[in-house]
Chains A and B, each alone.
Chain A
């Protein structure tokens, strides 16, 4: 079922320069994702998209050198390697080197009518994008620390999948799955969302943001819990796995190890496997508002401490099945292959280099 074909498709790229650089490099064995490698991933995405005929990419600007390196790669690759790149537009937004940059970039991409947003980051980056992207499908690529939401995926192939969906060779309906989210409200006002896990800790401050001390975590909510996950959702995944496409989530109340109904050894950060006690575990039904038991503490969203709440604040959490759409890259390539889209000649393979290669 091929859908309408689009010749002037624009794809957005959010590459978070800050992902994969937080304190977990120091307190756990987390890897670092260099700026150079992020720029290289964007390069491969662009070449993958260009092969499928995507003419234009808009990209979040940054001060860390990702966008600058990509532009240099484009110049050098075009001149020296006969590479064919799409036009790259850096969005005109103020750069504050904070989460607001991502939020603004996504808003701008939505206004521009991009067909797909490709995200490079960890769970936290994807959460920010999900806040503002509406129904624009995301391709979620992992360059963060705890990556329960995005996957490791070769960027060339991800770029080709983006091109296939952006140009209509594979329809959005065929390509995407709808994700769940956890929503959190404070004193009756919806404050934010989490894609994978939301935790309550007894910290006083947000501090360096990342959460790696299990003794501080008092409650965990998850949208889904995979047994092979890394991060706080791993605790739920080892206690009671919940699939990504099921219509329910999980709520755990924690206690000191050795107490309560269950103690697990869980990988809560790369290389950091710790005992975690669970005193209560219950299934979360959609839209069932759960008040949190702590009166003072910090809310973490997808592994990062986000905001503090104080005595008198009322915090509720609930599961919402209407989260962002994500593109299933393997499925897109599979559908495209079945349709013979990669068989020459193809209306979707428009790169000049490919044409030259066949002609020779």
Chain B
């Protein structure tokens, strides 16, 4: 892991976080217009987790995502235009418009897919990490999952598998406090905040970090990924964070305190915290960040226009990619 992030690293990380925020905020607007097919689950507020982890990864490293997968895709390097077109269900989408929001995948970028099944990611990455180990190519697998998924049997089986085979795998728990609509006041009963303790029970290092602080996530992920690359086995990182939108778009969120998101946006926004840290350190000028903000807005606008103008998938593509021959 780099001892200190360079200015170039900092600007790249900020740009990725800004891309996620603007992309998601725009999807929020477009979905409300009724122009997008299917469901969307937005990642705004959790940007520091995806970017803090993926800044350590290359295209050989594999990640698996969740139903809230746009942020992970962007952080791993999937192109915005293809993603937006995919969400619009257009032919130019990352998966030809047939996957939609919950099934964006880009294997060239090591992005094994968003996933509509809660808790489906850990076994996928256990397999990818086993492949990494057999290939001896130094790559790692990272699975992002939520506090709801942490209660799924697939997650426990994957932790057991990863520890037993000493896999180069990192479990990144995005604990945003709500398993769909289950409020944290029930967490003592479902045990959702104790998942790092459960990982320790499997014998792997488990740490909890402030998921809204890019630098905290970056540091923990760096140590875990370096350890995995050296053959040190799996690690579990619990990132405490918050989503700014509902579980899905259209969620009335009656389970949340009224001003919870307003307070988080004002006082605990990952982008604001990042900007304050790098500008007060004198490493980046505020104007440089503002230039990125403007550039990303233009980029997202262009992606929406391109998606709107793109054609629908051809009818004869209907049966393609349904079955795979080995």
Interface residues in chain A, defined as those with a beta carbon under 8 Å from any beta carbon in chain B: 17-18, 21-23, 25-27, 32, 34-36, 63-65, 67-69, 72, 95, 97-98, 204-209, 296, 308, 310-311
Q: Is B308's beta carbon under 8 Å from chain A?
A: no
Q: Name the contact of B219 in the complex, choosing from A23, A25, A34 (C-beta under 8 A).
A: A23
Decide if A63 touches B216 in the complex (CB within 8 Å): no
CA A279 to CA B241, docked complex, whole Å: 42
Asked if B81 is at the interface (CB within 8 A of a chain A CB), the reply is no
A26 & B188 in contact (Cβ 8 Å cutoff)? no
The answer to whether A35 touches B197, judged by C-beta atoms less than 8 angstroms apart, is yes
List residues of chain A with CB within 8 A of the CB of B208.
18, 21-22
* B193-A206 in contact (CB<8A): no
For chain B, the bracket of interface size reads: 35 or more
A4 CB to closest chain B CB, in angstroms?
38
Hey, which chain A residues are within 8 Å of B213, CB to CB? 206-207
Q: Mark B32-57, 1 if CB is under 8 A from A, else 0.
A: 00000000000000000000000000
Q: Is the CB of B196 within 8 A of A21?
A: yes
Most buried by A among B184, B207, B218: B207
B280 touches which of A63, A68, A207, A310 (Cβ 8 Å): A310
Asked if A63 and B184 make an inter-chain contact with CB atoms under 8 angstroms apart, the answer reads yes
Residue of B nearest to A66 (CB): B188
Contacts A65-B191, A207-B218 hold; do A32 and B282 have CB atoms under 8 A apart? Answer: no
Contact of A25 among B194, B205, B216, B277 (CB under 8 A): B205
Most interface-central of B196, B205, B281, B282 (chain A CB within 10 A): B205
Q: Is there contact, CB below 8 Å, between A204 and B4?
A: yes
- B contact residues around A97 at 8 Å (CB): 240
B88 within 8 A of A: no
Given contacts A23-B209, A206-B216, A208-B219, 11 further A-B contacts (CB under 8 A): A23-B219, A26-B205, A63-B177, A63-B185, A63-B193, A64-B194, A65-B193, A68-B189, A72-B188, A204-B4, A207-B218
Is B220's beta carbon under 8 Å from chain A?
yes
Q: What 9 pairs between A and B have smallest CB-CB spacing? A: A68-B188, A65-B188, A207-B215, A205-B215, A34-B197, A64-B193, A208-B219, A21-B208, A207-B219
A204 smallest CB distance to B (angstroms): 5
Closest Cβ of chain B to A30, distance in Å, is 9
Per DSSP, chain B at the interface is helix
Q: Contact check, B184 vs A25: say whether CB atoms are below 8 A apart.
A: no
Q: Which residues of A contact B216 (CB under 8 A)?
A: 206-209
> Contacts of B200 on A, CB cut-off 8 Å?
25, 32, 34
List 5 A-B pairs, Cβ < 8 Å: A23-B219, A25-B205, A65-B187, A65-B191, A207-B215
Asked if B283 lies at the interface with its beta carbon under 8 angstroms from chain A, I say yes
Contact A26 B227, beta carbon cutoff 8 Å: yes
Q: How far apart sit A32 and B200, CA to CA, in the bound complex (Å)?
A: 8
Residues of B within 8 A of A72 (CB): 188
> Residues of A contacting B162 with CB < 8 Å?
none
CB of B296 closer than 8 Å to a CB of A: no
> Do B197 and A25 touch (CB < 8 A)?
no
Kindly list chain A residues whose C-beta atoms are within 8 Å of the C-beta of B30: none
- The digit string for B194-207, where 1 denotes a CB below 8 A from any CB of A, is 10110010000111
Chain B residue contacts of A65, Cβ below 8 A: 187-188, 191, 193-194
Q: Given A32-B206, A36-B197, A63-B177: A26 and B224 within 8 A (CB)?
A: yes
Q: Check if B194 sits within 8 Å of A310, measured CB to CB.
A: no
Given known A36-B197, A205-B215, A207-B218, contact A69–B188 (CB-CB < 8 A): yes
Encode contact with A along B173-191: 1 for CB under 8 Å, 0 otherwise: 0000100000011011101
What is the bound-complex CA distance between A68 and B189, given in angstroms?
8
Partner of A204, one of B185, B209, B227, B281: B281
Q: Residues of A contacting B177 with CB < 8 Å?
A: 63
Contact (Cβ within 8 A) A21 B207: yes
User: Which residue on B lies nearest to A61, using beta carbons?
Assistant: B185
- Whether a CB of chain A sits under 8 angstroms from the CB of B285 is no
Selected contact of A26 from candidates B197, B223, B280, B281, CB within 8 Å? B223
Binary flags per residue of B52-67, CB closer than 8 Å to A gives 1, else 0: 0000000000000000
A36 → B minimal CB distance (Å): 7
Residues of B within 8 A of A63 (CB): 177, 184-185, 187, 193
- How far apart are the CA atoms of A340 and B208 in the complex, in Å? 47
Q: Is B235 an interface residue (CB 8 A)?
A: yes
| Smallest CB separation, B259 vs chain A (Å) | 10
A18 surroundings in chain B (CB, below 8 A):
208
Does the CB pair B207–A23 fall under 8 Å? yes
**A27 surroundings in chain B (CB, below 8 A):** 223
Q: How far is the CA of A23 from the CA of B206 in the complex (A)?
A: 8
Contact among A35, A98, A205, A208 with B193 in the assembled complex (CB-CB below 8 Å): A35
